[in-house]
Structure 1
Amino acid sequence: MLFALMVGLGTATPAPELGDYPAEDALAADYDRYVGESVQVTGTVTKTEPVEIAVGYEYADNGEYHSGTLTIMVQNVDKAVAEGESLQVYGTLGPDQTITAQSSVRVPAVNYTAMYIVSAIAGLWTLGRLVCGWRLNWQTWSLCRREHRLRPIQTLLGKVREVLI
């Protein structure tokens, strides 16, 4: 059942009436089909005057895998953008790789750096909690709760002592 749902939803096409607008993959597969329709794409700003974004795509067609980058010129951007920022655009698709923006959201490149730093800290914190609260039972190859929870500093000092001795 789960496999059938996965395949069925994987073949779903964009449905603007449900807020699912054609995006990067659909445009790359059949650009002319969506000219004049509302689309939503996200890409990296490569040029600011006029605004151009590089939009990555991946799709399969008749058993062939296609991937690459579309360069799309965005008209009517209502906010200042800088090269390297991510720009999400909702608007009307025009001919010759253009979109007339009705709204856009820019994400400064610094936000991605902050996201990676916070994710790394959260991952290390989770790993620390796992090591301090659980142990590996080598006989059953399973995780078992420790009877006495280790404290992170004690665990680190104990490991350092093991290496030094």
Structure 2
Amino acid sequence: MTPRGRRLLAVALLVGLLAGLSVWHGTLVPHAADGRYPGPEAIATGGDALVGDTVTVWGTVVATDPVIIEAEPRGQRVRFTLTGEPVADASIGAEIGAHGTLQSPDTVAVDRALLQASWELRYLYIISFVAGLWVLGRFLRGWYLDGPTLSFRPRSQDD
């Protein structure tokens, strides 16, 4: 087998492995011992059975007195009232991730919360995009793709 054929086979195997692992990960069942807790979808379908259990919900703050978030698991709009000190500083429009105990099918007593202002996610994507372009530019200035062998080779200092 030629070096080009081996490289193509290696790339195909790695892409197949990535796809297979992605499908396998999607089949995993939430298990609290693994650090995965029921979320908005599980609460919306069987909230009464989960009362008293530890849950994690993510959503957008729609009211602040009391703090109410709105989540959309599978296109179904669900609202949760959050109680506790960790969510006291929430503002309308902020994204919040709350981890706590389900008191009723629509109330969570929050132990820990992550508040995220609406601009933070846009900032994250913009900075990541700019950094990716910078790294790509640095890579392309120092290396080139050799087509016949499908390998990257360093550019000579004369280029």
Q: How high is the TM-score relative to the length of structure 2?
A: 0.70
**CA distance in structure 2 between the partners assigned to 1:90 and 1:127 by the alignment:** 38
Whichever structure has more helix as a proportion of its residues is: 2
Whichever structure has more strand as a proportion of its residues is: 1
Q: Does 1:120 align with 2:129?
A: yes
1:71 matched to which residue of 2?
79
Conservation of the 8 A alpha-carbon contact between 2:44 and 2:105: no
1:36 matched to which residue of 2?
52
- Which structure 1 segments of 5+ residues have no match? 58-65, 151-165
CA RMSD across the alignment = 3.0
Deviations 1:73-107 (A, max 9, x none): 21224431111211111111133422121222212
Q: 1:13 aligns with which of 29, 33, 55?
A: 29
Q: 1:92 aligns with which of 77, 101, 113?
A: 101
Q: How high is the TM-score relative to the length of structure 1?
A: 0.68
Deviations 1:40-80 (A, max 9, x none): 112121211221112232xxxxxxxx444322121224431
Pick closer, same or farther for the CA change 1:4–1:146 going to 2, 3 Å.
Answer: closer
Q: Which amino acid aligns with 1:100?
A: A
**What is the aligned length?**
142
Conservation of the 8 A alpha-carbon contact between 1:46 and 1:84: yes
State percent identity of aligned pairs.
31
Q: Which has the higher contact order (CA 8 A, sep 6+)?
A: 2
**CA distance in structure 1 between the partners assigned to 2:95 and 2:84 by the alignment:** 17
2:38 matched to which residue of 1?
22
**CA distance in structure 1 between the partners assigned to 2:123 and 2:94 by the alignment:** 14
